[in-house]
Amino acid sequence: MKMLNKFYINGEWTEPSAGGGFAQIVDPSTEAVTGQLAMGSAEDVERAVAAAQAAFPAWSASSREERIALLERIIEQYTARLDEIAEAVREEIGAPITLCKNLQAAIGVAQLQAALATLRNFEFESVRGKSYVRREAIGVAALITPWNWPLNQITAKVAPALAAGCTIVLKPSEIAPFDALIFAQIMHDAGTPAGVFNMIYGDGKVVGSALASHPGVDMVSITGSTRAGVGVAISAAPTVKRVAQELGGKSPLLILDDTDLQTAVSTGVAQCMVNSGQTCIAPTRMLVPRARYDEAVAIAAAAANSLTVGDPADPATKMGPISNRAQYEKVQRMIRIGMEEGARVVAGGPGRPVGLERGFYAKPTIFADVHNDMTIAREEIFGPVLAIIPYADEEEAIRIANDTDYGLAGYIASGNPERARRVAARLRVGSVRINGAMLDVTAPFGGYKTSGNGREYGAEGLAEFLEIKSVTGL
């Protein structure tokens, strides 16, 4: 049984304030309680924010070279602990160990390296006529991160915030505390100045709300559900602080009639199901030409049925459990709703896969006969569930793709690059991936509509943590 009963505040591991209580840490593959996690209170938020405020004048005045050196040390420490980080993610959220090593842990290095490269060349000052424009650190940044890709989101926020000269209070997800503990240790061992980085555990209602509403916090960056993002924005509004939000999605994959159907459908299923479907940009709506609909459905069903679901510690496992009980129950409820509304299950369905009696395991599920006003086509499920929707022509495909409250990502499969670019220009989303392209951590990432505002990654992600000052008259 692991006891996580310390917070990292002002360069030290400190006891939480009284009154926060403890939460259970549950292994989603076995449903066994594996630890106890201290939960923060408003008093802990006060201490962490005060430490970040005190450290801000010196860190914001640090040189580019000092920030580069710190990021280089963080990368060195992080790289040395990659296997340990991967195992922590496997244990806390049930992601397959191969995925944890190859992506969940490794993407943190990629994010840190990308932020370092951006910092080396970022233009903090520029001349404009008789004026010059300065970009200065916004202040204390509260960073609220989710459980599904925990290291990606921690590093994608912490690294540019540090590069900008901000000081930080991190609230990681209480569902994924093990990797966050290691990350805080890395920050300490890398020699991060006291107060520049602080971490407290807690839930959104108490710690998240206290951070968002705190007058000493200058900016909040949150990745989470649209509901959570709205709550943070409401809490932040009275203090008129900046709020950057990377929220939910219901991303379409447009399979055009000039592509190889077998490859496009199989790739789309794989992208939807990775991490047990718990990815905000997962292509959960597959749009296929009506003339080839039955063929596409058969390919998708075969691809889903080929996935090995089981123990995340087994290197052969392709899909582990859903990461927590509440999310597992939501996925099961949404599958039942899809069936009740008339969609046809061609793979998977409700319940656990055969042979798995314990753990939050869900079946990779494919729905056919879906139309875009069904619940499973409108709401984010955040599980291994794919809806296949037919379309008559390109115009209808684009209309269906854009007929959603979300706008985080879009996917296109096409054998014609010019056509793919033309369709991409018409999608109301923040990023488009063509023909199975992987995520590019140097390109800006964020959403339209209820998928959020602001951008992460690259120069745009660094700029989110900066204020703009113009100086005229010299």
CB 41 within 8 Å of CB 200: no
Torsion from C-alpha of 397, 398, 401, 405, nearest 10 degrees = -140
Burial of 418 (0-12, 13-18, 19+ CB in 10 A): exposed
Give the list of residues 6+ apart from residue 296 with CB closer than 8 angstroms, or none: 255, 261, 265, 286, 288, 388
Look up residue 351 and give its two tokens: 């319940």
Look up residue 227 and give its two tokens: 């509901």
Concerning whether 280 is annotated as a catalytic residue, the answer is: yes
CB 135 within 8 Å of CB 468: yes
Q: Backbone dihedral region of 194: left (phi > 0), alpha (psi from -120 to 50 degrees) or beta?
A: beta
Concerning whether 246 is annotated as a catalytic residue, the answer is: yes
- CA angle at residue 282 from 278 to 285, to 5 degrees? 120
Q: Name the residue among 407, 411, 408 with its Cα closest to residue 420.
A: 411
**Strand residue runs (E) in 43-193:** 125-128, 131-137, 140-144, 167-171
Rg value, the chain, Cα: 22
Identified catalytic residue from 87, 92, 246, 456:
246
Identified catalytic residue from 166, 280, 380, 456:
280
CB neighbours of residue 117 within 10 Å: 13
Distances (CA, A) of 417 to 144, 158, 285, 394, 420: 38, 36, 22, 15, 5
Locus of tokens 């700029």: 463
Give the list of residues 6+ apart from residue 222 with CB closer than 8 angstroms, or none: 143, 144, 208, 228, 229, 232, 243, 244, 245, 246, 247
Report how far residue 118's alpha carbon sits from residue 134's, in angstroms, rounded to the nearest whole number: 17
Say how many CA atoms lie within 13 Å of 206 toward its Cβ: 18
CB neighbours of residue 242 within 10 Å: 18
CB 252 within 8 Å of CB 448: no
What values do phi and psi take at 261, rounded to 5?
-65, -45
CB 331 within 8 Å of CB 382: yes
Residue 470 DSSP one-character state: E
Active site amino acids: 246, 280
